Amino acid sequence: MSIAFEGQVAIVTGAGNGLGRSHALELARRGAKVVVNDLGGTRDGSGASLTAAETVVEEIRAAGGEAIANGANVTNYAEVEAMVRAAAERWGRVDILVNNAGILRDKSFAKVSVTDFRLVVDVHLMGAVNCTKAVWELMREQRYGRIVMTTSSSGLYGNFGQSNYGAAKTALVGFMNTLCLEGEKYGIKVNCLSPTAATRMTEDIIPDKSVLDLMTPESVTAGLVALVAEDAPNRFILCAGAGAYAKARIVETEGIYLTPEQQTAENVLANLDAISDERDQQELVGGLNQTLKFVQKAAASMGVKLG
């Protein structure tokens, strides 16, 4: 089965370099018309220039594709709205949104300023919120859409010096978990990509060139394309890097029930092993499913019949 995007329009943020550039080029190669969005700033988010985005557009056009450059700052909703409006006016629709834009301001939590913490969250989280909000109604009306959030192993598992980045990246998983429920009946699928690749975002973290040579952006883009295909999954956290692919899941153990007289902090602490027992753990879809599980345990223990 070949994946193609003829007649579709894609917006890729942070597409002037690295992963975003790779995503934009491949989507265009497969037939999509692409909005190459990039503020053109440095890795820490300072500065602005359309040069990087325009260079990618030139590459796409040279290969016979269609693309336009856009320098909207994803933290500015008015600029993002104008970007989406320009795409819709030019091509009539927006089918794919890849929320890839990001910056780094790494410092230990003891040393990071609140300003730097907020800026990283604004770009990664609120940038994705702004872009998604700007395309959401359009995708609902056309009853089709594919949206990808770019999360990270730093958010899923933690990484020293990246409390700001990790917090934002984990928040995107929560964002996805609700949007996939709200968008499903409108043909909108929302997924997360957790990439690791050799880009300017990782060049200082992984100094070994032999390792970086394995971590091609193109290997990650293969995963991205799968997540925005017509037959894409929904609510999937795809981890991709160096040609390896895996699924990350948030699971909950079956847990235990304590009677009212046993419901003390001491008993919770004493039962951590039983609470952590991984047998019968499951991936829940929707927060109310946890509530239902807990209430059913309590009712069963007390002999209460639920309506």
CB of 200 closer than 8 Å to CB of 17:
yes
CB of 241 closer than 8 Å to CB of 197:
yes
Any idea of the CA torsion for 267, 270, 272, 278, to the nearest 10 degrees?
Answer: -100
User: Of 234, 237, 240, nearest to 217 (Cα)?
Assistant: 240
CB-CB neighbours of 240 under 10 Å:
22
Helix 127-142 vs helix 77-91: crossing angle, to nearest 10: 30
Active site residue 157: no
| Active-site pick, 77, 144, 157, 165 | 165
Q: Which pair of tokens denotes residue 202?
A: 């990782």
CB of 202 closer than 8 Å to CB of 279:
no
Alpha helices in the chain (DSSP H): 18-29, 51-62, 77-91, 114-121, 127-142, 153-157, 163-183, 209-214, 217-228, 265-270, 272-275, 288-302
Active site residues: 165
